[in-house]
Structure 1
Amino acid sequence: MDDLRKREEEEQKIQEIKKNIRNKKHYFIEDGILFRKQQLSLPPVPYVPAGRMRADILKIYHDTLANGAQFGRDKTLRKIQERYYWPTMIAHIRNHINSCLPCAQNKYRRQKLPGKLKPIPPPEGIWKLLSMDFHGSITPTSKQGNRYIISLTDVLSKFVIKKSCLRLFSNNSSEIPYK
């Protein structure tokens, strides 16, 4: 606690809070150490000055095996918040965990891995390979009441034919190249 008291005396922001302690309802001083009151029934916690102490706390609560090393962000945050306070605590803990190599290596991926792409061989000539896209429902509708657009693209030349239509059915989309 002597080290904490000494470091608090060196930090300007803590000195400002101590000078205006009567206007700060969440803070109080006990034995020369600045404490912050917590919500609910949690006990007050000491205000940790910037610098080495914050980094040491993060190492102790996240990196040390004795404290159940490599807990995720939420557990680490909760464990530290029960015992300490500093204004940028959440961002500081998030940055520490995001830069933690063992966490990154062992983190469970919640996303499905992307599928393997299969390249399309180049067409032999113009109008030999076509792609068709359907767009809609588009609002507002056209004067004729059309709500969809079918576009037909020649893969080689990138020439596009567009047609608006009232409804999308397989029979009217297959007729587009012939119109």
Structure 2
Amino acid sequence: MEILKQLERCESISDYSLEPQAKLLLFTDRVVIPRNEEIQLNIIQNHHDSTLAGNPGQEKTLKLINRDFYWAGMNQFIKEYVSSCHKCSRNKNIHHKKFGLLRPLEIQSGPWISLSMDFI
């Protein structure tokens, strides 16, 4: 609100501008979104969950939204949303070291020294 009042009084604020026809507050040519979680979720869902978006990851979703919109804490909000996405977690590739090769068991010196069982 402070920024909006200063812009209405024609005071210059770096990186902020006011679009008079559409009555939009802009930050580096991106629409500033108010602190309203419902609006923010709607924007993320349109850019992440829609059929056309195809559930992009955190970085791509952030880039897509960052082109047109801005709000305080946007990066963290998007990362939390995408990391909690059920489709993404189910389809995400697992990045870990490859498991090592199987090693043969040692040959024991007598009977019943080693016992193994397979459970089915």
Q: Same fold (TM over 0.5)?
A: yes
* 2:58 counterpart of 1:73: yes
Q: For residue 40 of structure 2, give the secondary structure of its aligned residue in structure 1.
A: helix
Provide, for residues 47-104 of structure 1, a one-character-per-residue CA deviation record: whole Å limited to 9, x for no partner.
Answer: 01122111100000000012x2210111111110111111211001000001101111
Larger RCO (CA within 8 A; separation ≥ 6): 2
CA distance in 2, matches of 1:56, 1:50: 13
Which structure would you say has the larger Rg?
Answer: 1
Structure 1 spans left out of the alignment, 5+ residues? 1-14, 38-43, 116-179
Q: For residue 14 of structure 2, give the secondary structure of its aligned residue in structure 1.
A: coil
* 2:41 counterpart of 1:55: yes
User: Counterpart amino acid of 1:50?
Assistant: R
* 2:78 counterpart of 1:97: no
User: What is the CA-CA distance between 1:19 and the residue it aligns to?
Assistant: 1.7
Counterpart of 1:35 in structure 2 is 26
RMSD value over aligned CA atoms? Answer: 1.6
User: Counterpart amino acid of 1:103?
Assistant: C
* 2:42 counterpart of 1:26: no
User: What is the CA-CA distance between 1:45 and the residue it aligns to?
Assistant: 1.1
* 2:3 counterpart of 1:17: yes
> Aligned residues, how many?
94
How high is the TM-score relative to the length of structure 2? 0.71
Q: For residue 69 of structure 2, give the secondary structure of its aligned residue in structure 1.
A: coil
Structure with greater strand percent: 1
Distance 1:24 1:106, change over 3 A: same
Q: For residue 33 of structure 2, give the secondary structure of its aligned residue in structure 1.
A: coil
User: Counterpart amino acid of 2:35?
Assistant: A
How high is the TM-score relative to the length of structure 1? 0.49
* 2:37 counterpart of 1:46: no
Structure 2 spans left out of the alignment, 5+ residues? 101-120
